Structure 1
């Protein structure tokens, strides 16, 4: 067996840290189903990027602005260097797939009329 070097965070370390956190006295009680749901929400990179964008800004963003920022983070390029079709594809996948899942989970709010996404469930200090 050979050992692999991971240039990014080691997933084993992340899993260990998650279980250490769950074992802490002040950690919330989490059933296996709750953990499965949380990991399913975080399994998709685009959802993680959207959550990261909203967490970084900490305020409502239009979905087109959020889609641009997700596209930038996915590609590592400036928005001027990303084809408009690619940004549109990100927008559509967020709108039809990822955003509804995150809204249903209570992590984000979405005002369709104004096309605004709010990081309500991501607040570190719940209201």
Structure 2
């Protein structure tokens, strides 16, 4: 079971939050396309909304070497590296209420949390 500090540490990074928010709506996503599209839809940082640029390459590197491994290690996602697909992990339901609460209260949440 994840403690509160661990959950907040995992949610601290924009890309990890976006992955988890996207998985609330979909059982699996292709990475990084789903993250980039969600960022563009929500008017978030330029790195999330760009495609085919250096920023896009940087995002992909960060996802594959930092964010996805952390989420997988916590059991929040299952990551098929070969297929480039992420799905809900065995521990995802532990944090789902918190993620849904963020999504449902997007207009009340400060900054770019959602």
Root-mean-square deviation (CA), in Å? 2.8
Q: Unaligned regions of 5+ residues in structure 1, if any?
A: 1-29
Q: Secondary structure at the match of 1:97?
A: helix
Aligned to 1:84: 52
CA offset at residue 92 of structure 1?
1.5
Shift of 1:70: 4.8
Between 1 and 2, higher relative CO (CA 8 Å, sep ≥ 6) is seen in 2
Residue among 16, 19, 32 paired with 1:64: 32
Tell which structure's C-alpha radius of gyration is larger.
Answer: 1
Cα distance in structure 2, aligned partners of 1:95 and 1:34: 24
Give 1:99-114 correspondences, 5 Å limit: 99-114=68-83
Contact 2:78 2:86 in 1 (8 A): yes
The TM-score normalised by the length of structure 1 is 0.57
User: Shift of the alpha carbon at 1:69?
Assistant: 2.6
| 2-structure distance, mates of 1:64, 1:75 | 15
Match of 1:115 among 79, 84, 88: 84
Report the Cα offset of residue 94 of structure 1.
0.9
Contact 1:71 1:90 in 2 (8 A): no
Query: Under a length normalisation based on structure 2, what TM-score does the superposition of the two structures give?
Result: 0.63
Q: CA deviation at 1:117?
A: 0.6
Structure 2: gaps (5+ residues): 97-114
